[in-house]
Structures are given as structure tokens and as C-alpha cells.
Amino acid sequence: MASLTPYTGTLGIRLAKHLLRRATFNISKDRINEFSTYTPAQAIAKLSIIPDKNLVQPIHYTNDKLSEPAPWIDDDAIYGPIQPDNGSGNNLLRHYVLGWWLDEARRDTSYRSKMTYFLFTDFTASNQTLNGNFGSYYDYLRLLEFHSLGDWKELVFQMTINPVMLLYLNNNQNTNANPNENYARELLELFTIGKGAQAGVGDYTNYTESDVEEAARVLTGWKFYWYNILNNPTLDRHRNTNGAENGNFPCGYAVSSQHDFGRKEFSHRFDNYVIEAWDTSGKTDAEKKARIEEELREFIDLILSKEETAKFICRKLYRFFVGRNISAEIESDVIVPLAVIFRTNYNLQDTIDALLASKHFYDKDDSDATDEIIGGLVKSPLDLVMQTLTLTDFPVPDPITNGLYHYKNFYYWQIILGILVPASQNVFDPPSVAGFPPNYEHPDYDKFWFNSATIIPRYNFTDLLLNPNKVKVDYYATTFIEDNVSDPYDPTKVVSELVDIMFPEEIDTDRLNYFLNDILLEGGETTPAMWADEWNTYKNSGNRAGVESVLKPLFRALIWSQEYQNN
């Protein structure tokens, strides 16, 4: 029986791996061992400790225009004032923002970055949006991060007036004279309550076409300031912000002359709720703008008053963190009580904590603890890349001392364009406002990540890591062995200990022997004694060539394996 009841036992290695893989991008042998001693409550308390960032924003490297590294977007406490001439334009800055986010997520020992990316899959907006508006996507990502463990209700409001979202779904064009329904439709269909089954002409169970029309009227009159430091370096990027309580991020503003202050009546799906007309006679512009915000917040309250909204978001959380299949039992025993927790105050941290602490998350709510959850999701390309970088302690080029290779070569050219794009996860540029198909496409969901088109770039990733000509750093399979195996002289321990930290579940003897005998011992051409001698030669001489030539195929085989490709 599926259960949201908290699991109170000690995690152990198997469940510690499971929690870290699902809740973070950062997994290592040391973290697995540490978390194995915790109960879920203790582990979640640890994951809730938010570490300081390495860099609070992308920092441009020294070049012919800069004698010192400098910030692009905002003045920086460490690297000084913003330098308007430190790049070739906003498109290059966008590449740096993506690399910055990926590197900070790689370093993040909490669950904040994973929750931030979850919220991106809910409030999707392409990084190509507002490419000419300097730093706008940086602000969009920071807004998601700011609310990733906080108030989702407030996030709905803040995302509605975010400049990237205003342009992405055309709500900046939505006026009383020319209504635009694009954002109103997606706010209902994708971001909050969901359509539901078709119940009739223009009736989708959870809302109707007339509700979209009325919502668009509520949303009229929002604009944003265009900011381009290259064209106007004196313009204040923060002249309209959302307040300290919401991060002080640049946001949109209301234009009272373009808002529809008339009566809005919603359908029976919202209990025929009415937002009353408001008489603007004698009102100041400040009062009119305050009314526009009040209407928007009233409409958001209306959406969130429906139980289905909380259940819709909790199903998304479930499929992102737990599993693709939501049976009638899981719906009634996990989703419904989780939605009750969510509706209490729409606090995301309370909700995700309850899910990650539950017996169901650890597959402890039935008699077969190996049948559903553990290793039951296909790794997204992003998970595959980030978790491999942290598991191998890969020496990513430093963003300050080696900034050109860090941002432009490693993250943008090699990781984003070389792996994530061909693997169908152009990390912040999904194919549509619905996001990436594995996040929403019934019934396969995460299985979409692994197919004939994506398998090659997923496999190419292992060779990329061991190619210093491409990644511009030296990394060796021998380093991975030395860092993670207690006795590298023993080939059985090499294989068994690597499998133990890399795979979700134990593997049977035949599978273990395949990696040991067929791969590491080269189908019998190498004996355990010969391996020990080879390793001893390497340790005495420092010459890696012999052991590296054998370990590379093992490194490749382990990462290519179906066990490692699952989360």
C-alpha cells in the first residue's frame, strides 16, 4: 500500500545513493557514506543547508579588454563594478549565464538546484527569450532559485510579471484594446491547474475557454523595461524591482491605461466567481496600479482555491523525483495527502520534504522493495552529466583562472552543444512551452530520454571526459580508481566497489563477472596477478599507460551500462 508515512530507519548505502541521485546533482563516495548513517529526516535536514555560491554571477575572464576578471551583469562585492566592454554582446553573456548556473548546480550540496530545475520544468521559458535584454535570463533563473524552497503561490505572481515570461508568452502585448490569451492559457493549462479531460466544447474539466478569456482580461497592462548595457550603459537595470522580500530582481510594471478594469465572471469550473468592476474615476495612477496587482493576486487565489491545482503540481513533483507511473493507489495514498500539505501554505520545502521522507520514496511501503522506485527513472542528460562530473570529481576548468575554457569551451561547446543538445535536453531551451517531452508526455515520460537518437551522445560523454584536447584538463581513469577503490591492486575490489557507488542496485554474479572478467581482465588475457603487477608498475614509475589502457574500457562500460543510465 503506497504511503506518505515517514520512513524512520537509517538509510544505509543503497537508500543514501537513491536520495542523493534524485534530490541533487552532487553525488560522491564520501557523500554516500555520510548520508548512509542518517535517517531520512536527518538527511533532508542536511540537504536543506544552502551552501554559499562559488560565484554569485558569471565573471568574464581577463582578455585584451580586461586586465582583471570583471562582472557582466551587476556590480560584484569581490570582482568590482560592472564592465560594459567585456564581451561581444548579449548572446555571449547568455552562454556564460548557462555555464554559471551549471557550475553552481554541480557544486551545490543542497537540494536547491534540483528544485530550481524542477520549477523550470513547471514555469518553462527559453533562454533565447529576451536575448537582447542584458542579464534577463540570469534574473529569471535567480527568481526560480529564490522561490525553489519557498512560497509557490508568490512565485506564480512573480513569474507572471517576470520580463522573460512577459515576452516569452506575449503578455507584454496583452492590452484592453487588444487582448492576448497566450499567457493566460498556459498559466492555466501548464503552470497551475492543468486542463483535465475534455468535458464538452470549450470545457476541459478544470477550466473553460471563457475562463481563458476572462483570465487574459485580468492580465492586461503589464510591461517591462528593455535594458541593453551595450547600447545604453547608464540605464538602471534595477529601476523596477520586485522588492527585498522577493529577491530585488528586475520585474515588469503595470500600465493603467492598458488594463481592463471591467467585471470578470468565471465559469462554473471556478464556481462562477466574479472579480468586480472597479471605477477608476478620480483615482490616482498609483491607485490604479495597485488595483491591477490586486486583481492578479485575486485571480491567482482563485486558481489556488481549487484542490486540483495542488494535485496537478504534486503529480509533477512525483514524476520528477519519484516515478513515472501514478496508479489509482498512488493518487489516493500519496498525491492527495501530499497536495493537502502543499495547500496548507503552498510551501515547496514542506512539500518536497514530506515526499523525500516518505516510505513510498524509499520503496518501503510494500513487501517488495525492489519493484518500483529505486533505479526506476532514466537519467536525464543533465543528471547524467552533472552526477558523473561530481562522482568522478572531474577537474572542471576554473571560472576565474581559466575562464575561457570554463565557460566557452567546457560548458557551452562541450557540455551543452556537444552532449545535452544532441541528447535532446538543450538544458534551458526546450522545444515548446510545455517543456521537454519526458517531463509531460504520457505514458513514457522519462523513457523518452533514452532512444536511438540520444544514445550516441550519452555514450560519447565518457570519451569526452577522458579527452584532454576537448575538455582542456587532464583526467584519468586511474584517478577515479585511486579516489574510490580501497585496494586497486585487487581487480575484484576495483569492479565491486565501483559498482557499489555507481549503480542504484546490487547486480548479480554474472553481471559482476562480465565487468570483471570480460572488461577489466580482458576476457582472460589478464590474470588478477598480472593486474596487480601492472598497477604496481604504475605506482612505482608513475607511467599510467598500461593501466589506463585497461581502465578506460571499464570506465566506459560502467557508464554505458543500463544500471548507470538509470537514476
| Residue range 165-212, pLDDT digits in tens | 999 999 999 999 999 999 999 999 999 999 999 999 999 999 999 999
Residue 124: pLDDT band by 50, 70, 90 thresholds?
very high
Give percent above pLDDT 70 in the chain: 97
- What is the secondary structure of 340-365 as a DSSP string? HHHHHH-BHHHHHHHHHHBTTTTT-S
| Residue range 18-28, pLDDT digits in tens | 999 999 999 99
| Residue range 212-252, pLDDT digits in tens | 999 999 999 999 998 876 667 677 888 899 999 999 999 99
Contacts of residue 508, Cβ cutoff 8 Å, sequence gap at least 6: none
Backbone Cα Rg of the chain:
26
Instruction: Give Cα separations from 323 to 315, 429, 442 (angstroms).
Output: 10, 24, 13
The rounded distance, in Å, linking the Cα atoms of 254 and 447 is 43
Contacts of residue 381, Cβ cutoff 8 Å, sequence gap at least 6: 419, 420, 423, 424, 425, 449, 454, 457, 458
- What is the secondary structure of 105-129 as a DSSP string? HHH--SSHHHHHHHHHHHS---TTT
Instruction: Give Cα separations from 241 to 139, 158, 296 (angstroms).
Output: 11, 10, 17
The rounded distance, in Å, linking the Cα atoms of 302 and 383 is 36
Instruction: Give Cα separations from 9 to 14, 368, 387 (angstroms).
Output: 13, 17, 26
pLDDT greater than 90 at residue 83? no
Average pLDDT in the chain: 95
**Lowest-confidence region among 72-76, 90-94, 227-231, 477-481:** 227-231
Unique residue bearing C-alpha cell 470578470: 264
| Residue range 241-278, pLDDT digits in tens | 999 999 999 999 999 999 999 999 999 999 999 999 99
At residue 237, the pLDDT reads: 84
At residue 86, the pLDDT reads: 62
The three three-digit cell numbers of residue 22, written as one number: 534524485
The three three-digit cell numbers of residue 210, written as one number: 471563457
pLDDT greater than 80 at residue 370? no
Contact between 502 and 485 (Cβ < 8 Å): no
Q: Would you tell me how many other CB atoms lie within 10 Å of the CB of residue 509? A: 8
The rounded distance, in Å, linking the Cα atoms of 98 and 148 is 18
Closest to 454 (Cα-Cα) out of 471, 475, 432, 437: 437
**Lowest-confidence region among 125-134, 138-147, 249-258, 449-458:** 125-134
Residue 132: pLDDT band by 50, 70, 90 thresholds?
confident
At residue 89, the pLDDT reads: 67
| Residue range 488-525, pLDDT digits in tens | 999 999 999 999 999 999 999 999 999 999 999 999 99
**Helix 112-122, helix 348-357: angle, nearest 10:** 110
Q: Characterize the bridge pairing of strands 264-265 and 274-275.
A: antiparallel
Unique residue bearing C-alpha cell 551552501: 51
Closest to 100 (Cα-Cα) out of 62, 59, 134, 66: 59
| Residue range 381-400, pLDDT digits in tens | 999 999 999 999 999 999 99
